[in-house]
């Protein structure tokens, strides 16, 4: 079974600065997708960014970018020019694209609470 590990329970950053959230995963599959979700106090899980494992190019979405290291099974999220509205719980997630019992299921890490200081 796949596992996703976020080793940073909490992180903090000053407004306008850059912060990186770490995520590692364990899988024997070669075809999969990786995601970062944000969960603000409103509780709604919002998709931040998505990476396809077969693409070497790192995904970017405005101020959010990832550092995807497939061999190392690492998928970190970089938030540039942090804003107060970025404060939330961030979850890394893995989704299998192969067949089998794990097909399509989204597996989450434990989450990282991000605090943004003004």
Partner 1 sequence: ETGVTQTPRHLVMGMTNKKSLKCEQHLGHNAMYWYKQSAKKPLELMFVYNFKEQTENNSVPSRFSPECPNSSHLFLHLHTLQPEDSALYLCASSHSQGASYGYTFGSGTRLTVV
Does 35 contact partner 1 by CB under 8 A? yes
Name the token pair of 62. Answer: 């405005």
Among 46, 61, 83, 117, binds partner 1 (CB under 8 A): 46
- 50 C-beta neighbours (distance < 10 Å), count: 15
Binding flag, residue 29, partner 1 (CB under 8 A): no
Cα 116 to Cα 27: distance, rounded to the nearest angstrom: 32
77 is a contact residue toward partner 1 (CB under 8 A)? no
CB–CB of 63/79 below 8 Å? yes
Interface positions with partner 1 (CB under 8 A):
4, 33, 35, 37, 42-47, 50, 52, 91, 93, 95, 97, 103-111
């Amino acid at each position: 079974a796949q596992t996703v590990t976020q080793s940073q329970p909490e992180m903090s950053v000053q407004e306008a600065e850059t912060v990186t959230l770490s995520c590692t995963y364990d899988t024997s599959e070669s075809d999969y997708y990786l995601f970062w979700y944000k969960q603000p106090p409103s509780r709604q899980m919002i998709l931040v960014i998505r990476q396809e494992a077969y693409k070497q190019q790192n995904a970017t979405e405005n101020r959010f970018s990832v550092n995807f290291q497939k061999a190392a099974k690492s998928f970190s999220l970089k938030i540039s020019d942090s804003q107060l509205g970025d404060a939330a719980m961030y979850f890394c997630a893995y989704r299998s694209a192969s067949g089998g019992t794990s097909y399509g299921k989204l597996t989450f890490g434990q989450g990282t609470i991000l605090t943004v200081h003004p």
